[in-house]
């Protein structure tokens, strides 16, 4: 597309949406530079806003107006006073941020371009903040600001989350699910034996990209059990993807399910937080291979949403946590 024509098209769309008119080619270029430099005027905006249980504080992430590096802030609801809680520079103490290929791919599927503190989680009681950064995990005591790093080993931590009671943290590392008890700093590998084609606790590509499901494990409301996804991609086609911006680098190999080819094989297993033999959740996985969603809330049954490959039939199933069997709650069909 011709650059000048593209500029005119963009400006025309803005005018049609009610934007103020801009005169002259020089101003056109200035606007487009600002539009690009501010990532569509999104940089500098507060995001990932969390309220404390008492409602007296709000936490949020924000970058500078023209950079992608986010820091964590807190604002007092009564006075409006704002303060910096945490920055990536403070946590890493000057070290450069390192992101694994898996984390970069996950962020791409989340449409997340942020660096620095790209995400965090506030415990349900508001006492602790969990911050993943550069493949590492940090737990911050909100009242005192005391910060400690969890000993997760050499592999980067993916999708870390508090248990509902706030006393444990789970994450996926090197394809297996891990749990840390915060009081004792004891780390337990809940699963072992992951390979390049077998992972536990991670959502597969189809779920992340097409179903907007980014999680592959779920805490029970009582924090004593974890439901996790086991994904086998051995039958999925292996493609090599080169980086056109860095042609000197070798291409990366990814299991990618092109239309009409084999998908990942997905199943669910239910485990005690302390480990032991898991129970498999049973449903007709041949007829309904897509796990679209999972919901496990307090005072409610564990339910899963599954679909056939054509995505014309959707079933809501209740899971019996004692034996892993399921029963149909609701079905929808669309030709």
pLDDT averaged over 10-residue windows placed end to end, the chain, 335 residues? 51 50 63 88 92 96 91 95 92 81 75 84 96 92 92 88 97 96 94 97 93 96 98 96 91 90 97 96 97 96 97 97 97 96
In the prediction, which pLDDT does 96 show? 79
In the prediction, which pLDDT does 239 show? 93
CA-closest candidate to residue 95, choices 162, 172, 149: 149
CA 133 to chain centre: 13
Bridge pairing between strands 302-307 and 313-319: antiparallel
In the prediction, which pLDDT does 1 show? 47
In the prediction, which pLDDT does 162 show? 97
Q: In degrees, to the nearest 5, what angle opens at C-alpha 47 toward C-alphas 45 and 53?
A: 135
In the prediction, which pLDDT does 276 show? 93
Q: In degrees, to the nearest 5, what angle opens at C-alpha 105 toward C-alphas 104 and 110?
A: 95
In the prediction, which pLDDT does 29 show? 74
Q: Is-contact 278 271, C-beta < 8 A?
A: yes
In the prediction, which pLDDT does 13 show? 52
Alpha helices by DSSP H, listed for 155-273, are 205-210
In the prediction, which pLDDT does 105 show? 75
In the prediction, which pLDDT does 12 show? 53
Measure the CA–CA gap between 152 and 32, rounded to whole angstroms: 44
In the prediction, which pLDDT does 82 show? 95
Measure the CA–CA gap between 153 and 335, rounded to whole angstroms: 49
CA 273 to chain centre: 21
Q: What digits encode the pLDDT tens for the residues 188-207?
A: 999 999 999 999 999 999 99
Task: Give φ, ψ of 2 to 5 degrees.
Answer: -60, 135
Residue 132 CB partners (closer than 8 Å, separation 6+): 118, 119, 120, 138, 157, 160, 171
Q: Is-contact 81 75, C-beta < 8 A?
A: yes
Q: Structure tokens of 180?
A: 């840390």
State the residue for tokens 């149909």: 328
> What does each C-alpha distance from 166 to 170, 293, 298 come to in angstroms?
11, 23, 15
Task: Please give the radius of gyration of the chain, using alpha carbons only, rounded to the nearest integer.
Answer: 23
Q: Is-contact 190 226, C-beta < 8 A?
A: yes
Q: Structure tokens of 117?
A: 């503190």
Q: What digits encode the pLDDT tens for the residues 33-65?
A: 888 888 888 888 999 999 999 999 999 999 999
Q: Structure tokens of 42?
A: 């999104």
């Amino acid at each position: 597309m011709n650059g000048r024509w593209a500029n005119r098209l963009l400006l025309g769309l803005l005018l049609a949406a009610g934007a103020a008119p801009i005169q002259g080619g020089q101003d056109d270029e200035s606007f487009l530079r600002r539009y690009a430099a501010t990532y569509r005027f999104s940089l500098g905006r507060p995001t990932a806003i969390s309220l404390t249980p008492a409602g007296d504080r709000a936490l949020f992430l924000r970058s500078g107006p023209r950079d992608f590096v986010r820091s964590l802030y807190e604002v007092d609801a009564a006075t409006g006073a704002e303060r910096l809680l945490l920055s990536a520079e403070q946590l890493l103490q000057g070290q450069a941020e390192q992101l694994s290929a898996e984390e970069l791919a996950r962020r791409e599927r989340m449409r997340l371009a942020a660096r620095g503190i790209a995400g965090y989680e506030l415990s349900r009681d508001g006492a602790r903040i969990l911050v993943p950064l550069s493949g590492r995990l940090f737990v911050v005591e909100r009242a005192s600001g005391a910060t400690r790093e969890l000993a997760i080993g050499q592999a980067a931590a993916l999708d870390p989350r508090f248990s509902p009671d706030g006393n444990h943290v789970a994450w996926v590392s090197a394809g297996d699910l891990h749990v840390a008890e915060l009081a004792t700093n004891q780390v337990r590998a809940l699963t072992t034996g992951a390979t390049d084609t077998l992972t536990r606790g991670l959502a597969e590509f189809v779920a992340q990209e097409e179903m907007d499901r980014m999680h592959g494990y779920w805490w029970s409301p009582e924090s004593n059990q974890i439901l996790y996804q086991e994904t086998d991609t051995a039958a999925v086609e292996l493609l090599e993807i080169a980086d056109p911006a860095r042609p000197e680098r070798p291409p990366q190999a990814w299991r990618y399910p092109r239309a009409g080819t084999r998908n990942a094989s997905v199943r669910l297993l239910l485990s005690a937080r302390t480990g032991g033999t898991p129970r498999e959740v049973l449903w007709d996985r041949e007829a309904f291979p897509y796990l679209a969603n999972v919901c496990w809330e307090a005072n409610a049954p564990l339910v899963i949403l599954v679909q056939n490959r054509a995505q014309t039939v959707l079933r809501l199933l209740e899971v019996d946590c004692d034996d892993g069997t399921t029963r149909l709650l609701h079905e929808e069909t669309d030709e």
